Amino acid sequence: MSAVLSQVPQNITATEPDALTGYRTFRLGAFEFRRDAYFAKVSWQVKGQSRSHEMPADAFLRAMMRDVAWGFFYGWVNFDDVLGTRNHYGRVDLYAGSYNAEFKKAGVDHLEQFDTPVIMATFKAILADWVNEGFDPFAAPAETGSAFGFKQGENMAAIERFRVATRRMPGLASDSPLRDDLPVNRQFSDVPQDEPEIRARPGFEGQLHAFNLFKYLSRSDVTWNPSVTSVCKNSLFCPTTEEYILPIFHGNDRVEWFVQLSDEITWEVGDKNTGAPRARVTMKAGDVAAMPADIRHKGYSTKRSMLLVWENTTPDLPKRYERGELPPYPVTF
Ligand code: PHB
Ligand code: FE
């Protein structure tokens, strides 16, 4: 495969655009990524034989977008039952079939580890080339154009969107802004837009703060994209608005908590290593659930809903779970 090419960074291995589809093909280690009008196709070699796996282009791009935007996230990001990444914080595994019981049994799985900047640059180059004008991988399907067809333009603004990174709380001086400039989403037109009144005792001005989280979330223009919205030591509140399907099957390397703030999400829960189904959990407004450290989960939300994801960034947690030092559940009944 030839490297080079005008709009692709020099360290990325990619072909010239295909004469028919207009898309480039990318290589990372022994993995090859190719797309056509409808599908993303990933191939790899095992024991001298070529193996491949296909995903619908829209699902693939939505998953890859999350992996890039979240910096490979906590633990495992499964694009589907076969393909995914595991974050080792500095290095990242890219795998096909390594966490799929049947692929393992058949011996057709493959895993390679890359330095984070290398896999990140490759994934970004794939997104830049494969996301067409009018398609926004963060948007709900009803609020974006199509991912399908031959290459047509690009959407760099959508894929390089600034991700909210709050230091303490939005709206505090020199912290991330409240997003009053964004319109209220069509599905949150009933959400009250009033802000709390803040009256600090003299001497505490600028230290006491509050804002209307429901108003804030009602103006989110992205789906399935938790952003850090309050920081208290190692406790991160990451609220998000959800419509359609979480584009990844997340296998966490620690326990995380979900607080359903509005409407309803159904979670599909499977074994982290094999993918075997373990539970279906329907969460209605007000429900709270802990997702254990030994599962993978994927959510479904018909009506756009609000979810609070609560993450624990205590150093060393992943290692302590992996060693079996901590039980995978936060509470034993
Ligand atoms: C999760 O994997 O816990 C997760 C990811 C994205 C969301 C919600 C939950 O929008
Ligand atoms: Fe998760």
Which of 159, 174, 208 delimits the end of a domain? Answer: 159
The answer to whether residue 179 sits within a structural domain is no
Residue 93 confidence (pLDDT) above 50: yes
Between CA 215 and CA 206 the distance in angstroms is 21
- Whose C-alpha lies nearest to ligand 1, atom 8? 224
Q: Within this chain, do residues 228 and 144 fall inside the same structural domain, yes or no?
A: no
Q: Which pLDDT tens digit goes with each residue over 249-264? A: 999 999 999 999 999 9
Whether pLDDT at 4 is above 50: no
Range of the domain at 91: 3-159
Question: How close is the Cα of 172 to the center of ligand 1, in Å?
Answer: 26
Q: For residue 13, tell me if it sits in a domain.
A: yes
Q: Which atom of ligand 1 is nearest to the CA of 240?
A: 10
Q: Are residues 311 and 191 in the same domain?
A: yes
The three-class DSSP label of residue 92 is strand
300: CATH: 2.60.120.10
Q: Does residue 117 sit in the same domain as residue 198?
A: no
Q: What is the mean pLDDT of the chain?
A: 95
Tally the domains of the chain: 2
pLDDT at 9: 79
Q: What is the pLDDT of residues 164-207, one digit of tens each?
A: 889 999 998 889 999 899 999 999 999 999 999 999 999 998 88
Q: Please state, for a pLDDT cut of 90, what percent of the chain lies above it.
A: 89
Nearest to 195 by CA among 174, 176, 181, 209: 209
Quick one: 12 and 118 in the same domain?
A: yes
Distance 227 CA to ligand 2 centre (A): 13
Nearest CA to ligand 1 atom 5: 224
pLDDT tens figures, 147-158: 999 999 999 999
Residue 1 has pLDDT above 70, yes or no: no
What are the C-alpha distances in Å from 271 to residues 99, 252, 314?
Answer: 9, 11, 24
Query: Residue 8 domain-assigned?
Result: yes
CA of 297 relative to ligand 2 center, distance in Å: 6
> What residue ranges line ligand 1, CB within 6 angstroms?
224-226, 240, 242, 246, 250, 256, 307, 309
Taking every pair of C-alpha atoms in the chain, what is the biggest distance, in angstroms?
74
Query: Is 251 a member of any domain?
Result: yes
Atom of ligand 1 nearest to the CA of 256: 3
Map residue 58 onto helix, strand or coil. Answer: helix
Structure confidence at residue 8 (pLDDT): 79
On whether residue 169 sits in a domain, the answer given is no
Which of the listed residues 138, 295, 307 should we mutate to test ligand 1's pocket, taking the one with most ligand atoms within 8 A of CB? 307
Q: Do 150 and 245 lie in a common domain?
A: no
Residues 125, 50 within the same domain = yes
314 pLDDT higher than 50: yes
Q: Tell whether 226 is covered by a domain.
A: yes
Please check whether residues 138 and 46 belong to one and the same domain: yes
Mean pLDDT (whole number) for 227-241: 94
